[in-house]
Structure 1
């Protein structure tokens, strides 16, 4: 059974993420944990609350949060409910990042699914600061779903990689399971000006081939230019229904984050974005 964590702030995009999660795992057993972290609502920016009033405020917000979570689940269960799906709610008195990290560890979560802002948002990027932080620091695959993305099976999946990272088997199994059940094509894209791979890269590429046995796997290269533009071009060319990247220290993904090219992706990407982790769990 898949364990899936969906953080929510009760916005339209977080509701959309929950609905997307139900469709993605429609035909398999899954437990959806819907989490709202309300720590900042008690001790948020510019709030000065004494100890006695803080405790009272904490209890009030907890009660309201639990009620809103129950109402949210009631609104998405459907008639008749999917017998393969279970729902549990978590009201956490913590920051969002800490709450997600702790729950991922406690329940050994397979996947975190988050909603992101739509293209019409006033923000510079659909990937808000919380999503970026969860991408970077949560030790679990994270799937960001654009608010205006209409669900469709990901028949083509784009996986940009430089083959430098030793992939985690559990992460690849998640990708393999998703791609396998939809009979997807996984396009491994290496953006490079070099013709040959190093022995380390060859080993990692072979590990991909040996692990991703369920989907149709393709290996492609393209010359170096602006990485975000290449990715966006390939998404359009292949009509990809999902983008997959690996996150690790000094990785291609982290390089994108710190060079702000993720802003271009965040503004223009219109498909779900799965970030797999290369961190010990």
Structure 2
């Protein structure tokens, strides 16, 4: 991992993501780019008449000044190198473009809080990114307080073997010097009995394969099942003192058994710990 992108609207929600990125950068060498997305106000008619042109330019200049001040503050107090970037477009388009042009390896972004409307809007934009990026997204909860990650949990019902997924997960664990855990999920309401039996049979085999491939003797794989996905997973997170939850997103249409962006979005609203969302592919199923 060499480059982290942190979109910001200067809210508390976004500042939590910046704090996570900065503290991570102090643990291992990684570059940080702060991205401010300026979404212009007004309509085609008002822009044509020049009503909003001056107003928008003033807002844009103010945003650039705030970004420069934030960069200076971080570099002086934290001794972390920060780059800045401003985009005039939608949040999703700006992040997708920046990840391509700036060779970004990870996007870190704050999620929904219970505070002001501005925070809720920013959190919903974070959720809108899930399932759309080609690089992993780390979602930082509104009330999260930094703790050096020691336990990372991969939650899946897919028995992932795709190197692009697993290599990133285990590289991140190495950088934080954290232990990897795996939870294979079965939904008692949605999944058939045959799937339950399949998951029960495959989970020990999957654990053995991951231990051998990534030289992780302390890795554990657990078969979880319950009627409420979020509650079952959250209880396991609490019991194992998990610091980062990792999930893999697949586009709709690949099958009901594969986590899709909507289920991961639900966790982005409910999780109390950072959620690492890794984009996946259909092939290479264990």
Shared fold per TM-score greater than 0.5: yes
Task: Name structure 1 gaps, 5 residues minimum.
Answer: none
Aligned partners of 2:135 and 2:278 also within 8 Å: yes
Q: Is 1:117 the equivalent of 2:112?
A: yes
Separation of aligned partners in 1, 2:53 and 2:217 = 52
Task: Name structure 2 gaps, 5 residues minimum.
Answer: 187-192, 253-257
Separation of aligned partners in 2, 1:224 and 1:137 = 29
Separation of aligned partners in 1, 2:178 and 2:89 = 38
Question: SS of the counterpart of 2:131?
Answer: helix
Separation of aligned partners in 2, 1:32 and 1:53 = 36
Q: How does 1:186-201 map to 2 (within 5 A)?
A: 186-192=180-186, 194-196=196-198
Aligned partners of 1:176 and 1:214 also within 8 Å: no
Alignment coverage as a number of residue pairs: 269
Which residue does 1:256 correspond to in 2?
Answer: 263
Separation of aligned partners in 1, 2:46 and 2:2 = 41
- 1:53-101 Cα deviation digits (max 9, x unpaired): 454444333322211100112232343x43xx32111111111110000
Aligned partners of 2:35 and 2:87 also within 8 Å: yes
Q: State the TM-score, normalizing by the size of structure 1.
A: 0.81
Q: State the TM-score, normalizing by the size of structure 2.
A: 0.80
Aligned partners of 2:141 and 2:273 also within 8 Å: yes
Separation of aligned partners in 2, 1:67 and 1:29 = 27
Which residue does 1:41 correspond to in 2?
Answer: 40
- 1:178-201 Cα deviation digits (max 9, x unpaired): 212333222211123523359999
2:168 aligned residue (163, 169, 174)? 174
Q: Judging changes above 3 Å, is the alpha-carbon distance between structure 1 residues 256 and 123 closer, same or farther for their aligned structure 2 residues?
A: farther
Which residue does 1:154 correspond to in 2?
Answer: 149
Aligned-residue Cα RMSD (Å) equals 3.4
2:66 aligned residue (62, 65, 68)? 68
Aligned partners of 2:268 and 2:275 also within 8 Å: no
